[in-house]
Amino acid sequence: MKIPFEPILFGYHINIHLILEYLAFFLAFRYYIYLRKGSVDSISSLNRLSIILGAAIGALIGSRLMGFLENPLIEFSKENIIQLLNTKTIMGGLFGGLLGVELAKKLIGEKQSSGDLFVFPIILGIFIGRIGCFLSGINEFTYGKQTSFFTGMDLGDGILRHPTSLYELVFLIFLFFFLKYIKNHFNLKNGNLFKVFMLCYFGFRFCIEFLKPNVFYVFGLSSIQILCIICWLYYHSFTVKLIDSLKVR
């Protein structure tokens, strides 16, 4: 199979990444519905709907904002503006969604943690989306730097590069089963599973960004890596408590 993978149907090139993005949203939501039916949700249906709406709005704003911050020095032309409006990042979506949820909960007066039900559907959605990123090769800015490492692949430009999307797929599989193990073997406070997911995923993304041909802007770090640090600072108190609990064990 040639990368980028661009199948032709009825004479038209199919945007496989876009199709897999829509599939990711659909399957992740169906997985969430399945998990909610099989669990006791302490949040009412109306409040849960408000929280989902807050997450969706926050994710939309966050993903677009981070997409812009990854290209802050771009020349402002009609074509570039359209491209920027279509640029989005899962990192901005996750953190923006988190802030959107917290704002929605404050507005409706909801005190219960709401993130745990979203953890595994989010992982599924990211996994499917990353398959699309890999199949798009150099058409999506998710590829890695040139490398002589044995994992190097030609992603469409004749250069052996780190297949960072594949690295992430492997990580997501381990993360899925790791969090399943934690959920089944530890008595976690409601909401803590989501926090562990965010810390793990943002930590992974911070590291793997070094393998991408980013343009670094502040302290040698990309905008994505700076967001990862902000996320870790956001969960600082939880991280300290988690480390202390592990020391006690």
Burial pattern 81-110, b for ≥16 Cβ within 10 A else e, equals: eeeeeebbbbbbbbbbbbbbbbebbeeeeb
pLDDT of 249 higher than 60: no
Would you state the pLDDT for residue 47? 79
- pLDDT band at residue 75 under the 50/70/90 scheme: low
Nearest-angstrom CA–CA distance, 34 and 225: 33
Confidence of residue 173 (pLDDT cuts 50, 70, 90): very high
The burial class, CB within 10 Å (0-12 / 13-18 / 19+), for 240 is exposed
Q: What is the pLDDT of residue 76?
A: 55
Residue 79, pLDDT above cutoff 60 = no
Q: Residues for the chain: how many in total?
A: 249
143 three-state secondary structure: coil
pLDDT of the residue at 88: 66
Whole-number average pLDDT of the chain = 83
What pLDDT score does 188 carry?
Answer: 80
Compute the average pLDDT of residues 178-204. Answer: 90
- How confident is the model at residue 200, as a pLDDT? 95
Q: For position 40, what pLDDT does the model report?
A: 67
Q: Can you give the pLDDT at residue 1?
A: 66
For residue 205, the model assigns a pLDDT of: 94
CA distance 46 to 63: 26
